[in-house]
Amino acid sequence: MADEKKAPRPKLDLEAEAEAALQAARTMPPGPERTEAMKKAGILRNAAELRGICFAKRGRPAKT
Domain ranges for the chain: 11-50
- Structural contact between residues 41 and 21, judged by C-beta atoms closer than 8 angstroms: yes
Model confidence at 33, pLDDT cuts 50, 70, 90, reads: very high
Q: What is the pLDDT of residues 9-30, one digit of tens each?
A: 555 677 888 888 889 999 999 9
d(CA 13, CA 31): 28
Contacts of 51 (CB under 8 A, 6+ apart): 8, 11, 14
Q: What is the pLDDT of residues 34-48, one digit of tens each?
A: 999 999 988 888 887
